[in-house]
Every structure is written in C-alpha cells, then in structure tokens.
Amino acid sequence: MRKFILKTTTTLAAAAVSVSMAHAGDVEVLHWWTSGGEAAALNVLKQDLEGQGTGWNDMPVAGGGGESAMTVLRARVTSGNPPTAVQMLGFDILDWAKEDALADLNDVAVKEGWDDVIPEALQAFAKHDGQWVSAPVNVHSTNWVWANKAVLDANGIAVPANWEEFEAALETLAAAGVTPVAHGGQAWQDATVFDAVAMSAGGPEFYKAAFIDLDEEALGSDTMVESFRRMEVIRGHVDDNFSGRDWNLATAMVINGEAGFQMMGDWAKGEFLNAGKVPGEDFLCFRFPGTEDQVTFNADQFAMFDQGGKVSAEQAALATAILSPSFQSAFNVVKGSVPARTDVSDEAFDACGKQGMKDLAAAAASGNLYGSMAHGHAAPAAVKNAIYDVITAHFNGEYDAATAALELVDAVSIAK
Ligand code: GAL
C-alpha cells in the first residue's frame, strides 16, 4: 500500500510538471500504454497528430488494465485539472459521463458518420443519453491463448480443443521442465484469465448471468465452483516468481521459450510483434479452449474531459484522427487489437489479426459477443473490484473453490 501511495505521488508530481509545459494546441493524453508493444502503437497516434500540427503532451501511468491510471485521473479531476484526453474502458466512461465531466463529441461524430460504422456493442459505452462522449480506438478481447510454437512442437503438443486437452498439455510441459503457464500475479491479470476460464467452464449463458446480470444463483453455482477449481489447475502450473510480475514480462517468457502458454488479451500480440516474432512461425494465437465461438471484448476509448463547455479544436482533431480508417488499420496492426470500425479492410493485418476481426464479426452476429468482466465491460468498477478481490484471494490460496464461490456471492451483493 505504502509503495502504491509513493508511486502515485511521484506520478502526480510528474503530472504537475507536464501540465505546466503544455501549450495551447497540445493535447494532454493520460494513458497506461507503457510496454514496448503498447508504446509502439501509441507512437502511431502521436505521429499522426503531430503530422497535423497538434502537439502531444504525454501522461503515462504504468499499470496494465488501467487501475492506477484511473486513480491518478480521479486525483487530477478532484484538483480541478483534468487532462484533455483519457484512455478509458467501458463502465468507467459511463461513470464519468454521469458526473457530467466529459465533453460532448456529437458534432465530430455526426460529421464523421460514427453511427454508421461503429458497432452497437461499442456505442453502448461511447454514448451517454444519446450523446457521443468518447472515441473508440480499438476492440481487444481477453479469451486468447499465446503459445511458443517451438516449445509446443518439441513436446508434441497440438492446439488444445478443450479444457481436458489443455490440462494435459500443461502436464506435459511441466514434466518436460518447461514453465507451462507464464503469468503475472496481479489482480487484473488473474481476472483476465478468469474471463476465459469461466466462459469455457459454463458457456455464454453462465458468463452473462454471473458477470453481466450479477445473478446470485450463477455466482454461487457449481459451475462457478468448477471455474475456481480450474483456476487452481492453472495456479499449479505457474512458476515460483509469478507474484506481482507485469503482464509483458510474462509475455516475454513465452517469447523466449521459458514458458509454453500465456492467457492474455490480444495486447500480448503487440509484444510478440515488437520482438520481431511472426504468428504461425514463432508463436501461435488461439481462443481459450472451449470459447472458440465467443469473444469477451474490451474496447479502449479516449474520453475528452470538458475544458469549459466546448470541445477544443485539439480534442476534435484527436477524435477525428482516432476514427479515421487509415489510422484504425495502422494503429491496430501494431497494437494487437482489431478496428473499432466495421468498414476497415483486414488486408494489413497478420493471421491473428485477421482471425480477431473474423471472430468479432461472427460473435456479434451470433449473439456471442460479451463484455470482459476483467476489463470493465461487464459491470461497473465497484463490482469489478469486488470480483477481483475474490479471484485473487482464491488464486493465492486464501479460499478453496467452494468457499470462493460463496465469497463471490457476498462480495457482489455488497458492491452492487
Ligand atoms: C487493457 C487495455 C489494453 C492494454 C492492457 C494492458 O485494459 O484495454 O489496451 O493496454 O490493458 O495494459
């Protein structure tokens, strides 16, 4: 806790410095894209804007999933000094919109025809009371597995088709002395794995009932107990140093062959690409076994903080740049995500990106597209954090699977 406060204070001091250096004509952007792959993608946006004469005042707050960034944001807003633009996810956008903190982007959206090209599932988080309040950058999804191809080949492991095959693959790797699962023990990463594990164990109706409808019966069900039991299997196949590890360092373990698999959203692909790795040759991407038809999505968006009633020229320029089709292709190719517009060609994307685009369209058409619990697209932050606490306590051995399900029912009922 102490460490966290220190870190936040340092970040706030950095924020104060960066604000004093801001010029009119700059956008100040608060974000958590600090890993190698993320920074490479962010550069595409910076350069795009700078090419149009809009300066970039960078305000990075490290911490995957954005929890620390949201803490810094709250402090900035409370002190009357909100950043111009903020990377944000799902329910956080709606929460700030309800506080009347966000600039109205309707003029830009109407002029650029956003209604026609941005999928409904994203509009649900980008609009408040019929007004556009944020600009979607991408669509990520969490139910992916990333694998080192050479490690799998050397151990005779094919892409697992179901949970049982996946468990067998983990055991094969353990017997061969390879770390089966690269994982970082941070609450948001534990929850990211849980997204896929629960979807696989119980299917989409169960996932929706538990995490979107917050139905007590589903939260405390035998299927939830089974989901926790499967988390124990995964916990049994991580290395001894998993605790607190950043997600991109876990990805690096798969990249360099130290580990076989990582369960992580497709921002992990940005790390493989940044390391010069090629999908299908060096690494494999596949949907978590048993979730091949589903997509648990999270979309990064940029919300613009109201700077006095009107969207500034710089904020409008940023929103326009983000939704331009050429930017949507260039950025998402590097980031690992897929476009937030439905009319962008998949030509520039690699095999995993092409699959991501196909999966997203198919899941949306068949009713298999669900918001990610772990990344703020299933329930508001208070509920999300309550779920995190139980998942992480269980992952670290505080509860058995049956107790964890009971704790989940209680935690959600208190938080909602
Ligand atoms: C997610 C975000 C991604 C990626 C990831 C790890 O919440 O949507 O863009 O940055 O966190 O930092």
DSSP 217-241: HHHTSHHHHHHHHHHHHHHTTB-TT
- The last residue of a domain, from among 350, 366, 382: 366
Given 330, 348, 366, which residue is the final one in a domain? 366
Same domain, 278 and 337: no
Q: How far apart are CA 332 and CA 123, in angstroms?
A: 19
Residues 136 and 155 grouped into a single domain: no
**pLDDT for position 155:** 98
What is the predicted pLDDT for the residue at 23? 62
Tell me whether residue 1 is in a domain.
Answer: no
Three-class DSSP category at 297: strand
- Taking the C-alpha atoms of residue 297 and residue 122, their distance in angstroms, rounded to an integer, is 10
**Position 200 in a domain:** yes
Specify the CATH number for the domain of residue 177: 3.40.190.10
H-state helical runs in 79-148:
90-98, 106-112, 114-117, 120-126
190 Cα: distance to centroid of ligand 1 (angstroms): 14
Phi and psi angles of residue 412, each rounded to the nearest 5 degrees, phi first: -70, -40
Last residue of a domain, one of 348, 366, 384: 366
Domain for residue 11, yes or no? no
pLDDT of residue 6: 37
133 is a domain residue? yes
- Is residue 283 domain-shared with residue 234, that is, in the same domain? yes
Residue 19: the pLDDT is 43
In a domain, 19, yes or no: no
Task: Report whether 184 contacts 35 (CB < 8 A).
Answer: no
pLDDT score, position 20: 38
Question: 158 with 268, same domain?
Answer: yes
State whether 184 and 304 are in the same domain.
Answer: no
Q: What is the 339 CA–ligand 1 centroid distance (Å)?
A: 15
Q: 304 and 269 share a domain?
A: no
Residue 391 within a domain: yes
Q: Based on the domain organization, do 388 and 278 belong to the same domain?
A: yes
Q: Model-level pTM?
A: 0.94
DSSP state of 208: I
> Is 258 in the same domain as 278?
yes
Q: What angle do CA 142, 356, 248 make, to 5 degrees?
A: 45
Whether ligand 1 lies within 6 angstroms of the CB of 37 is answered as no
Return the residue whose CA atom lies nearest to atom 2 of ligand 1: 65
Residues of the chain short of pLDDT 50, as ranges, are 1-22
Ligand 1 pocket test, candidate residues 29, 30, 33, most atoms within 8 A of CB: 33
User: Do 105 and 269 meet the contact criterion of CB atoms below 8 Å apart?
Assistant: no
State the distance from the centre of ligand 1 to the C-alpha of 48, rounded, in angstroms: 21
Instruction: Give me the number of domains the chain comprises.
Output: 2
Is 292 found in the same domain as 240?
yes
Residues spanned by the domain of 272: 142-296+369-415
- Residue 223 is assigned to a structural domain of this protein: yes
In this structure, are 217 and 177 located in the same domain?
yes
Ligand 1 pocket residue status of 375, Cβ below 6 Å:
yes
Q: Are residues 169 and 219 in the same domain?
A: yes
Residue written as token pair 């970082």: 184
User: Would residue 12 count as lying in a domain?
Assistant: no
Residue 320: CB atoms within 10 A of its CB come to 18
The pLDDT score that the predictor gives to residue 28 is 95
Ligand 1 pocket, 302 CB below 6 A? no
Closest by CA position to 234, among listed 298, 163, 283, 304:
163
What's the gap in Å between 333 CA and the centre of ligand 1?
A: 15
Selection from 223, 220, 222 nearest residue 198 by Cα: 223
pLDDT of residue 285: 98
Task: State whether 153 and 134 are in the same domain.
Answer: no
Ligand 1 touching residue 376 (CB < 6 A) = no
Cβ neighbors of 396 (< 8 A, separation 6 or more) are 185, 243
pLDDT for residue 310: 83
> What's the pLDDT tens digit per position in 309-343?
789 999 999 999 999 999 999 999 999 999 999 99
C-alpha 154 to ligand 1 mean position (Å): 32
